[in-house]
Amino acid sequence: MTFFEKLEERVCSTQSYLCVGLDPIWEKIPQHLPRTQEGLLEFLLKIVEETKAYAAAFKPNFSYFEILGASGMEVLQELIRQIPREIPVLGDAKRGDVGHSSQMYAKAVFETFKCDAVTVSPYMGEDSLQPFFSYSERGIFVLCLTSNPSATDFQLPEMYLQVARKVKELNVEGNAGLVVGATRPGNIAAVRKTCGQMPFLIPGVGAQGGDLEKTLIAADDGSFIPYLFNASRSILYVDSSIDYAQQAGNAAKMFRDQINSCRLNL
């Protein structure tokens, strides 16, 4: 089963286009949890348990685990292992390097960590992307139009559309997607026009303040899975009490329902 087939099944079963980002920050984790590997894993697994009914996918961001060294990577590997296999896992690694190095990155994220999909940077060109695309059953989300303020330094006015055109060309296996930030819905419409039917991974709606309704209108392409909306901090850290996981579940349900409500009005 390919990544996008697995994702389609998950969207059907949950009626959700929500991707829950798993970005652990020690300073924000509830104080009653121990500051250990076990405490970190407990925090994340309880979040997964309470939000999974509303999540089409989970997206651990590798950097939040790498900062903790070997112990953090062990937590990441165990977290992915314990997420139910029917739920797609996107490894938010943003890799991209010369060909041989990209081969190693691709092997790590897909074979060592066993992610179903990955985020990659296109800046070094086609030969940095091909090792990821060679895993035809895995999903490859290429950074195209990111949600951070300084994205304008390089991506605008034209580079983001050049990325969209190139990824469309490389998408011979149908396993490509694009990362486009909800903070720029006008530009998202231009990406959609350029790439046609291709899934978008959309950050920037929660804590970054992107406009959900405008983004939905810009991103929709009439296909069954035109997008996944990622939310991390606005779900993980909505509450710091002993009930943090339950409150995270409530936040995930609310976001899932907001997306569906807006979709009905398209």
Neighbouring residues of 129: CB distance < 8 A, sequence distance ≥ 6? 96, 102, 120, 122, 140, 142, 167, 170
Quickly count: other Cβ atoms within 10 Å of residue 38's Cβ: 11
Cα(259)–Cα(99) distance, integer angstroms:
38
Cα(12)–Cα(219) distance, integer angstroms:
19
Neighbouring residues of 261: CB distance < 8 A, sequence distance ≥ 6? none
User: What crossing angle do the helices spanning 212-219 and 244-264 adopt, rounded to 10°?
Assistant: 50
Catalytic residue among 46, 94, 114, 168: 94
- CA 127 to centroid of chain Cα atoms: 23
Active site (annotated) includes residue 94: yes
The closest of 85, 95, 70, 72 to 22, measured between CA atoms, is 72
- Positions annotated as catalytic residues are 94
